[in-house]
Structure 1
């Protein structure tokens, strides 16, 4: 019996035990939006070997037109995910194939290729993501309000507030309980810095697994929230006066054979507990940060979250918690890259609206380039960067991240390392994101009418 046959037999046994009668075969488009087909569970073998067919021209960024051969989504058997909120249904993440070959425009296929490149160098990229999101309701006039059924989530500093989290406890418990049945090792949940904003944390894993989980997390949150009359939105900044939503990336490189964390060095003369390899990786991330930003903050709205300057805090609490400075430092949340503990780095700039497969692939590409070129990020920045003026920042050689999608794309277009990390997807990404910016920039907003209509 082949290994594949053994796995298929085992899964069919689990279907019987778990009562699974339907499968969601799922991939993502270039934006990271989940796309699916619902098939009977009896189609498992076909889904694993031939795949479910999709018309690529109907999907953003697929590199296909209406004349193209079918994209076939072949499930990854290791991603079996029973839906706690929909009895009898399980989800499988899938890789796209065209004419029996991996489709290079599939974000998951692309990330696999980047991870294989890292493994050839002896590395495994371990990643954790902290997904922040808002619970909102949409009004008849199209406006959005926070989901606050008991009218208690109205503090100026609502972070960790007992009343705020209690109002959403049923939703949060449903999410936590469902994720625990999947073995994700959920370890904490909290009310975030903005009203109606929450975060659920689960244990890190190898990068592909984490990207799959973040994708499913967004799917699950949307469906569970709907049962409570709410929308779970991962839009970066749905409210102008409240903190935006990030997907803080925690990571380290591990030895491909032993699993040992290669970022740890307790004898680090800089006192952060990082190895020389880690510093080279960070050097690459910082060197490519402006271009990387286009992928990790890929929407027009993301840049409402990344603004700098005292007049643009955009938060009732007084802090954005989003450092838009290209810097690294100690366990300090005013840095782009925070060294939480020896061998453990967090990037706080990543948007919750990112495509995790593309973001992680680009990120890994930047870090590996830093290792190849032995880049040094310089000495760590200490203290509160929020209190350092922009002029003083410039004197210290600390640049800022791009302040618009258009500016980030300008950097992306010139950065061969980040573009190569996305393969042919880079061309589609640029085209679609330029179109998004032009469409946004052609709109006349209410702020403009209020500001200029009677100004002269």
Structure 2
């Protein structure tokens, strides 16, 4: 059995002992912006006391996606001592996640703050949200002309999922990531070649929702570091290749009260071992799915992954097209794979984990509060069979999803207020601008289709 890393520090004194024990000389003082981009400064450990008391200042406008202009005061990153980890792959480096403040007040544009608020509301009811993540990504190499290709030139099979030969050829990278996850104490239990050529997934233990969001950010950072050292790129772009399956970030979600899973019910008449409260959570996800997609599939590229099965070599997308749920059936937005948890499959590799989980928490809590029921599970394969009447299609583009988000009062309230109104409106403005810039770009497809028409 792999030895787990020491428990995370609980206060400043324990943090000081931890960095000394780990031989850490510098701390990567980190937070993420709206886009999920990790932003950081490198702080010498000798400044630890000052760092914990005063934080580090950042120009919020330069960090982007934080609701600031160049005229606004600094956002100040205050470390969460419990988030500290010794960085694998780099001797002498530690990583610590931060909460953002402006002029002494929590900054409501900070994604970590938004998730904290949702978890606080659950805690007031004596409940805790736990989440496990399954991040997928591609290993690619970039040519001099800027084009990309799958890093392994021998990885070209039509159905490469779980391919032992391809996984063995990638052993150096996969084993590096696996050892890093174990060094972090995350209980890595599986590393595999996924459904697309050049695509991989690493599985590790679940944790409370905030900790898992932190882990997703650190995982992406590690995967990119390891790939870069081989002259490769680890990309979490949802769909980098037209003819290959895209990358998801499937989240396994459970709600707990103390040591009891509130989703567990072995007397479930539907035979899925799920409680009425669990079905309420599922119903909330399905009811709010259109707006939730703006948070879980947050880029224009995200929507090229959804429903792409007929265009991929494997003839499958592994991504939902409808607001539906089922048992152990991977064609739905919500899958119930086992007792006591659900899998939310509408999250992709580009998602900001703090915002995605905050939206999931708000939607699920609303379903519970209303005593909602999702109806009976759908048993059929939605990629291969006719879709049952009454299932709601998911938004076809980012623009459609953003319009659904701003119209959804529950998600609007869940994302919270900001100085100029609602974070949902701020987020929507950013994403509408992103869509408009994309829409104005002339693509190779347009040139091929229209140049001589």
- TM-score w.r.t. length of structure 2: 0.95
- Per the TM alignment, residue 16 of structure 1 is displaced from its structure 2 partner at its CA by 2.3
Question: Which position in structure 2 is the counterpart of 1:399?
Answer: 392
Query: Partner of 2:272 in structure 1?
Result: 272
CA distance in 1, matches of 2:311, 2:248: 14
Gaps of 5+ in 1: none
Say whether 1:371 aligns with 2:368: yes
CA positional deviation for 1:81: 1.3
Contact 1:152–1:167 (CA under 8 A) maintained in structure 2: no
The verdict on how the C-alpha distance between 1:48 and 1:313 changes in structure 2, with shifts beyond 3 A counting, is farther
Map 1:352-367 to 2 at 5 A: 352-367=349-364
What residue in structure 2 maps to residue 165 of structure 1?
Answer: 167
Partners of 1:364 and 1:285 lie apart in 2 by 9
Distance 1:6 1:197, change over 3 A: closer
* Aligned Cα root-mean-square deviation (Å): 1.3
Corresponding residue of 1:186: 188
Matched, 1:139 2:143: yes
Q: CA deviation at 1:336?
A: 1.3
Distance 1:369 1:9 in 2: 40
User: Structure 1 CA distance, aligned partners of 2:126 and 2:218?
Assistant: 29
CA distance in 1: counterparts of 2:105 and 2:83, whole angstroms: 21
What is the SS of the residue equivalent to 1:73?
Answer: strand
Return the offset for 1:176.
Answer: 0.8
Partners of 1:61 and 1:428 within 8 A in 2: no
Range that drifts further, 208-217 or 421-430:
421-430
The alignment partner of 1:24 has SS state of: strand
Whole-angstrom distance in 1 between the partners of 2:259 and 2:214: 21
Q: 1:16 and 1:281 mapped to 2: Cα distance?
A: 44
Alignment pair present for 1:262 and 2:262: yes
1:313 partner SS: helix
> Are 2:131 and 2:252, in contact at CA under 8 Å, matched by a contact in 1?
yes
Query: Equivalent of 1:417, from 410, 413, 416?
Result: 410
2:91 alignment partner in structure 1: 87
Corresponding residue for 1:287? 287
Equivalent residue, structure 2, for 1:37: 41
How far apart are the structure 2 equivalents of 1:269 and 1:133?
38
User: How many Å apart are 1:241 and its aligned residue?
Assistant: 0.3
| Divergent runs of 4+, >4 A | none
Give the number of aligned pairs.
440
Indicate if the aligned counterparts of 1:51 and 1:74 stay in contact, CA closer than 8 A. yes
CA distance in 2, matches of 1:349, 1:113: 22
Give runs of aligned pairs for residues 21-60 of structure 1, distance below 5 A. 21-60=25-64
Which moved further from structure 2: 15-24 or 225-234? 15-24
Q: Which runs of 5+ in 2 are unaligned?
A: 1-8
1-structure distance, mates of 2:424, 2:18: 39
Aligned to 2:200: 198
